[in-house]
Structure 1
Amino acid sequence: MLKSNFARFAAVGLAAAALVSLGATAANAAPVPTEGPLYVYDGNGILIPTAGHVFDWNDNISASLSATDMAAPFHCSADATDSYTFLAPQGQELTRSAWQAYAPNGFTAEGSKDLLAFTLSPYQQTNGTQGVAKVNGGKWSLGLACTKDNGVNYASSGVWWLPVTVEAGTGKFTADPVGDPVVGSPATIDLEATTVPVAPDVDGPLSLNVPVGAKATLGAAALVNGLSTSTGKLGEFTVTDERALSKKGWTLTSSVADFVNGTNTIDKKQLGIKPIVVSGTAVAAAAQVAGSATGSAPFAELAPLAAVGTTKLNADLTFVAPKDSVVGTYTSKLTLTLASK
């Protein structure tokens, strides 16, 4: 079902009808309504979204063809000699004698066939009996018509109107949407889908998967700020969480042993670790800086109720040896521990 917050109000073509002015007898073919949305502006020139808006009978409001320019002109056909705003029963907008009330409306300049924003205020339709619509309520249209022969007949084209529903007694009215939504107006489509649990009775497993024989070898050392420094990657590994029902979340921690070369030792705090979430919804922990690392620290976590599945992880490693370290190759172990929240 389509919903719209801004409605499109367009002239709708009707069958030909006899056109008779008040107290006169003359007729011509029904005019051609001019298609186009009508936008409503208040007395300060501010656009009013019409859908659901309740107007008072005496509100000072106007209609324009533009949502951004209140002064965008309406164009009458070449045979138009005058124009009128009107209040008419819905369905009788093209029957001149059916107008309940009306008021003259001028062109922008002498010789021009253009009209500016026209008044939609029912109380300003000063000729006729506009009070009938206020007392009785019901379905009405507020419009603008290009006319000729001193208003007796319609011009060849140029009729616009806004259908409204009037509340009896108070005269309050709301616009009736007609046709499609205005291009660019918000529209929504209701969607519905049904899902089933991954496992109807129990959660799946939570597991840590590190490649067999995994080993991280840091690159060739180089002097950085006068200290032997080497960098590398820990290597990708995964945490798989199939607990689609409980979604408890998890925490992953890392701990590092001291680095050893025979009888020589370098403290584990010299290994900097920057956890990386390669893919998945987990969050990486803060980096451990070489020289001040704690040796045992959080690596990553998945919050409760977060989307479960497979998380791929890695880390940047930086090893900085103290100045008095014996030259050589040092080894250590990094242990990963996975726990449910």
Structure 2
Amino acid sequence: MNKKLAKRGGIGLGVVLTAAALVIAPALTASAAIVPTVGSVNPVYLLDGSSGAQLAAGTVLGWNTSVLSSPDGTVTTPFTAPAGAVSAKTFISQRGKETSLSTWSAYGPLSLTALATPNLKPSGNTTAGLGTPSGSTAVANAGGDYSLGVAFLDSTNHVLEADYTYITVVGNANAALATYTFAVPAAWTPDFTTFSATAGASAVIRNGNLQISATAANANKTVDVWVEGATSKAVTVTLDASGNAVNTLPAGISAGTRLALAEGHTIDAWIAASVPAPIQQPTSPANDATKVTITDPAPGVKTIVVPAGAANANKVLNVTAWSAGTSLGQVTTDASGNATVDASALPAGSHTVALTDPNTDAYVAWGTFTLSSTTQFSTTLSADVTNSGKFALEGGAAAVNLTPVSAITRGATTAPVALGQFKVTDDRNVLLGWTLKADVANFTSGANTIPNSAFGIAPSIVDGVSDGITLGAAQVAGSASYPVAKIAEAAPGSSTLAVGTDLNANLTFKAPNNALSGTYTSTLTLTLTSK
């Protein structure tokens, strides 16, 4: 005995003597691989439990005989657990029932850390399953055709991968005396000569996906999708509570391709793939429930906003426009459910546009709008601008008599007398703005003086450009204060043009209550200052 192999897998290996003779076959080379291909993800080679030598198909083995397994016929290469596997088991099942724990006849424990040459001794599957017959002993008693292998499961006990070979059991009322042989099974594919479309089932190709509806009778099943003529499954999908699943469209499937949905070797549904009919133009009043108002874009603008409503916020929707049924691609609505659609592929004129559900083609929102065309040309314009550069204060009377009719008495105020029209011109190249200030000296008559507060002035704009020019507050005779910082002002950027701005001012005088008689004189000074 090979002592090293006697400890493999933590099981003491030796020859078990039963009423059936144990036949040890010569070691086989890898070219004589025993490779079961029916649904098994990896081939399963059976090895002698003592020597580790590969066993030939047809070898008669006892029910309690230790037999090792390998994915490549050697004792050095372990099986590899698939992503998501949290446990592993050895199992016996009826053929075609390998991929569901609930259909196994019996199973046993297998550590994910001991995947090199797992022992597949049939009687080692000590847990009775729900399949028929139930339990390793029942299988040995009944005999028949089964699968023997290794399976990997996820956290929900869903079988992620099953690696197995076919066995044929010669039953015996004494399970210890049962024997079995194994052989390479013929590759299994659905028999499409028996194809009969399942009522209510469909497989619609839409937006790069395959939308499967296998009817509620197949709710929550995990099924393999087979394409007619293929030698292996196209994809495995898990159906929801309504028997539906959506998967990226596998290669080789187009409109009319016949498909089989199978659990192991059991056909659950026959389906012919199809593509949806073209989306029809919505009309009133049949589709008014989803009709919205779309504002026409401005002439030349090629984008529109379709208000699909808050219930459709942040959704990806298909866009189709008519009359020619033009696809405008997909659009994602914003947080308010508004979809901004690029309509540049459409000509000028009236159009209908619809947003539809990419999975069902149902109308989400639709409406009408008009694209207006514009034509235009461009002309380069030029103009030469000049200015006089003038900045000046001109005009005004040389002298003004504030009492032209008669002298006034103490405490009285004269009627207004016009200063006389004067002009401010600011036609400089750089318009900085300006301020017009006023100051007046005290009134004197010989040695007698009346303060300048007796003098009143109220400015006004008479003619010319007044844009940007503001007047200062009037100074009231008897309570005036000089100098006056502003009787008129222009903001920066304001021009009087070359014609200037004509101003005037009403002048008044109030004789103090203690004024002495006499002819009083003073000097009014206006000063124009640039800002």
TM-score, normalised via structure 2 length = 0.31
TM-score, normalised via structure 1 length = 0.46
Larger Rg belongs to = 2
Q: Considering Cα pairs closer than 8 Å and 6+ residues apart, tell me whether 1 or 2 has the greater RCO.
A: 1
